[in-house]
């Protein structure tokens, strides 16, 4: 991955509205929850991937960020979500809500998706990629359950697949205990490229965004 190219552009991508409009429209059409600014930045990050690298997100919901990642890109973009919807719905309506999200996601991928997009309906812990995909995951978006334990388990699961130069996006950093995981990763050598957290939902950063770069020796 061309980390230098991304690092040279990340602040302007997250600071200025140029190019937001098409992702804002897609957000409405797909019933997305992430901000258009984050979607735009993820899309650019995918453009920085090497040809044999791929993008993975944990927590796909209705598919907005997954579709945004693959927009005008050719690299494989994979969304993993068991559609438990536990963070959004509860009680007696959870099964109905899950099925509704499943239908919306399927329709969105059919309508707006491309051949390079795929969704795996599963707990990420049960997903195993081929050996050939090790060290090929250039970008990881973590947007599942918002707990330190869940994020740490996601990072541990992804570790064998992360490329030597990779990006990790954390969404909704003000929720739960995600910030503890971000701090721990920073202490272990992760480079914090962008961080913004607001107590209330913000049109640019949603409920907070952190972007980290990971460099490892070959």
pLDDT at 203: 84
Averaged over 92-102, what is the pLDDT? 83
3-state DSSP of the chain: CCHHHHHHHHHHHHHCCCCHHHHHHHHHHHCCCCCHHHHHHHHHHHHCCCCCCEEEEECCCCCHHHHHHHCCCCCCEEEECCCCCCCCCCHHHHHHHHHHHHHHHHHHHHHHCCCCEEEECCCHHHCCCCHHHCCCEEEEEECCCCCHHHHHHHHHHHCCCEEEEEEEEEECCCCCCHHHHHHHHHHCCCEEEEEECCCCCECCCECCEEEEEEECCC
Q: Which CATH class for the 3-215 domain?
A: alpha beta
89: confidence class by pLDDT, cuts 50, 70, 90: low
Query: Whole-prediction pTM value?
Result: 0.94
The rounded mean pLDDT for the chain is: 93
63-84 per-position pLDDT tens digit: 999 999 999 999 999 999 999 8
59: confidence class by pLDDT, cuts 50, 70, 90: very high
Q: Where are the domains of the chain?
A: 3-215
């Amino acid at each position: 991955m061309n980390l230098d190219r991304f690092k040279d552009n990340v602040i302007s991508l997250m600071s200025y509205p140029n190019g937001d409009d098409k992702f804002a429209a897609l957000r409405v059409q797909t019933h997305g929850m992430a901000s258009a600014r984050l979607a735009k930045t993820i899309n650019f990050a995918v453009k920085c991937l090497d040809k044999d690298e791929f993008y993975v997100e944990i927590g796909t919901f209705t598919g907005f960020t997954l579709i945004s990642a693959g927009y005008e890109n050719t690299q494989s973009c994979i969304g993993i979500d068991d559609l438990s919807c536990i963070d959004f719905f509860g009680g007696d309506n959870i099964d109905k809500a899950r099925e509704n999200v499943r239908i919306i996601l399927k329709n969105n991928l059919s309508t707006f998706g491309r051949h390079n997009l795929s969704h795996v309906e599963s707990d990420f812990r049960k997903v195993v990629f081929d050996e050939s995909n090790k060290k090929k995951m250039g970008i990881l978006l973590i947007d599942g359950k918002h707990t330190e334990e869940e994020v740490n388990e996601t990072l541990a699961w992804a570790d064998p697949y992360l490329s030597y130069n990779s990006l990790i996006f954390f969404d909704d950093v003000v929720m739960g205990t995600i910030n503890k995981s971000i701090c721990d990763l920073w202490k272990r050598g992760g480079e914090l490229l962008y961080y913004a957290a607001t107590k209330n939902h913000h049109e640019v950063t949603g409920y907070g965004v952190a972007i980290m770069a990971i460099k490892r020796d070959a």
